[in-house]
Structure 1
Amino acid sequence: LSLSLSLSLSLSLSPPLSFSLWICLSYLLSGYTPYLSPEASHPNPLLHSKLGRACLTVSLALSVQDLEYLCEGLEGRSSNPVAVLFDSLLLPDSDFGLDHTSPLEWRYEPERAIPHLVLGKGPPGGAWHAMEGSMLTLSLANWMELPGLKLKDWMREKRRSDDTHVGLSVVTNFLVSFYQRGSFAVLQL
């Protein structure tokens, strides 16, 4: 099982995806590609062993690795094995509140970019803008990360506290910052 995107597409999903999911999809479609880091390590011994074998093909994007093989034996909150693999690689053991380094590295490859446009009714950050800023997220702060940008690193740059749960205004500003750092095609309606 491998992923290969080489088409122009238009997605209309019901129910609609959250802005953070759209911005992640746009990040991938913009040509940002996950690779296994040459120093790839993972706290899950099974996945670590598989990554060790896959590192023989470290010069290949994750999307062209043997995803079925990498997914075997993994458990997570999703019924989609590729989503479980991606979560496990992006945020290893985050379900247990642990903060391990991701074995992924993101490379910008403009030749992989797929022309697309994300349309929204509001600014980057979506519904987060409409919520009361003093509220805290239910999700742990380390779950609120996006590819290529760790929330804790962003908070450190902004000299904000490194709390377990973060305020909604922090998440909104984080999403806007992620959008501004990338080459995204987002049109506000």
Structure 2
Amino acid sequence: MLPDGKAYALLARPQNKSAFKPLPVVIIGNGPSGICLSYLLSGYIPYFKRDSLHPHPILQKKLEEARDISILDQSIEGSMVTLSRGEWMGLPDLPFKDWLKQKKRGLRNNRATAEDIAQYYQHYVVKKGLQKNFRCSTVVTSVRKVSADSISNHTQEDQQENSDDSVWNFKEKSTEVFQVDGFFKTMKGDKEPFSIYAENVVLATGTYDSPTWLGVKGENLSYVHHQLSALEEAVKNDSIGIMSDPVLIVGAGLTAADAILFAHHCNIPVIHVFRRKVSDPGLIFNQLPKMMYPEYHKVHQMMKEQSAACAGPYECYVSFPEHHVLSFGKDKKCIFQDKNGHQKVYKISMALVLTGSNPNLSFLPNNGIDLAMNNSQPVNPKRNPINVDPFTYESTQEKGLYALGPLVGDNFVRFVQGGALAVASSLLKKANKNPP
């Protein structure tokens, strides 16, 4: 994604280093993080809405004191705090629930699917006129710093053209810029290489490239999956239903919770296996405000009240805390074990291993490890995110490189908006001491 209308044309030109002037910023990724930042960099200036209420009282007071000043121009402590009480999948100025109502559906009676959410993001890009910022079917293979002296500037005429009607007016000439290499896929299936240069690069690739595997026997069998969409597809195709054997869901994160809620809505029996105690403070459910995330609180209640050792009020669901999977059999029998070594065998219809995922940062030097909080370990959204300044989201190790979303531990779209705001504010201050 390139947050500049002229950048799209640059990408399609014949590759010639002497023909390029570095772009102000290139965003890598087309998920909610990248979309939100693209929205803010495209001229949409956010202000605090009158009569709105923020759950953080200190931030509420600061916003009220500067109602007539753009949030981009304010210095807001705690930028990782979500900007509103809006539903958790929504992007700015187009509530997800409103979009869903247009499809004559509601969250209460018909739970949103991953397909719904993907369509919402696609609709958002069109609705907000952001298509020109995106270059689809593009694969980035390398991002690295190079000397700006090795790249000739545009002619004076081109420089004047690029400066018209633009908020991007960088005053200082950088000694180094980022070279972004890759290829885009043509309609014929060919790969056409590109090489572009940017003053700043924003990593917004998410962390869903490589789902985590348990590494147990039989995990590669066809009924074992690592994405929630597999369950949605099975329900859609009527291959799983009320009378089916239980679906095994492994994991105790938000994706596992989404799978449980989806199965519960469809009256599909669920066996839920996870390693932690329900009361473990590290469990994400013990960190979420109950009033703001009632559906996830419901899942947490189910995990506590409907364990195999104690029957509870929830039908078609049973939890096995402090258990782990030993193997999957060809006969669709799964063996798992508790902390005392006792084993259990269950016949299941399918398994969803939803224990997290890791980003693919192979396009960065050393796979991005040098950018992490612990630079001796790979980047991980939960345990080892990219180390960024909390107020600008700029890398502490590489100036001009920013990161958003799960790469920095912001696993909610609600929090993504605050991160995008921090990046946009920082970029605009770099470009112009008095941004619009």
Give the TM-score normalised by the residue count of structure 1. Answer: 0.52
Structure 2, unpaired ranges of 5+: 1-21, 138-436
Give the conservation status (yes or no) of the 8 Å contact 2:48–2:64: no
Counterpart Cα distance in 1 of 2:45 and 2:39: 9
In structure 2, do the counterparts of structure 1 residues 66 and 20 end up closer, same or farther at CA, with 3 Å as the change threshold? closer
Alignment match, 2:74: 65
1:29-178 maps to which residues of 2 (within 5 A)? 29-55=41-67, 58=68, 60-67=69-76, 71=77, 81-84=78-81, 87=82, 89=83, 91-92=84-85, 142-163=87-108, 166-178=112-124
Matched residue type, 2:26: L
Alignment match, 1:28: 40
Counterpart Cα distance in 1 of 2:113 and 2:100: 12
In structure 2, do the counterparts of structure 1 residues 19 and 41 end up closer, same or farther at CA, with 3 Å as the change threshold? closer
Alignment match, 1:180: 126
How big is the shift at 1:39?
A: 2.9
How big is the shift at 1:168?
A: 1.0
In structure 2, do the counterparts of structure 1 residues 10 and 43 end up closer, same or farther at CA, with 3 Å as the change threshold? closer
How big is the shift at 1:30?
A: 1.0
Counterpart Cα distance in 2 of 1:147 and 1:155: 15
Give the conservation status (yes or no) of the 8 Å contact 2:39–2:128: yes
- Residues 140-170 of structure 1 deviation map (CA, whole Å, 9 limit, x = unaligned): xx21111111111111121112249520111
Counterpart Cα distance in 2 of 1:52 and 1:187: 38
Higher RCO, 1 or 2 (CA under 8 Å, sep at least 6)? 1
Give the conservation status (yes or no) of the 8 Å contact 1:30–1:183: no
Counterpart Cα distance in 2 of 1:42 and 1:178: 24
Counterpart Cα distance in 2 of 1:160 and 1:66: 39
1:7-26 maps to which residues of 2 (within 5 A)? 8-11=23-26, 17=29, 19-26=31-38
Aligned to 2:46, the other structure's residue is in SS state strand
In structure 2, do the counterparts of structure 1 residues 166 and 42 end up closer, same or farther at CA, with 3 Å as the change threshold? same
Give the conservation status (yes or no) of the 8 Å contact 1:35–1:62: yes
**Across the two proteins, how many residue pairs are aligned to each other?**
113
Deviates more, 1:157-166 or 1:20-29: 157-166
Aligned to 1:11, the other structure's residue is in SS state strand
Counterpart Cα distance in 1 of 2:25 and 2:64: 37
Identity of aligned residues (%): 28
How big is the shift at 1:18?
A: 5.1
Counterpart Cα distance in 2 of 1:83 and 1:45: 15
Bigger proportion of residues as helix: 1
Counterpart Cα distance in 2 of 1:168 and 1:53: 39
Counterpart Cα distance in 2 of 1:37 and 1:44: 15
Structure 1, unpaired ranges of 5+: 1-6, 72-80, 93-98, 100-141
Aligned to 1:161, the other structure's residue is in SS state coil
Counterpart Cα distance in 1 of 2:47 and 2:91: 15
Counterpart Cα distance in 2 of 1:35 and 1:61: 5
Give the conservation status (yes or no) of the 8 Å contact 1:155–1:161: yes
Aligned to 2:80, the other structure's residue is in SS state helix
Q: Give the aligned CA root-mean-square deviation in angstroms.
A: 2.5
Counterpart Cα distance in 2 of 1:45 and 1:19: 30
Give the TM-score normalised by the residue count of structure 2. Answer: 0.24
Q: Which has the larger radius of gyration?
A: 2
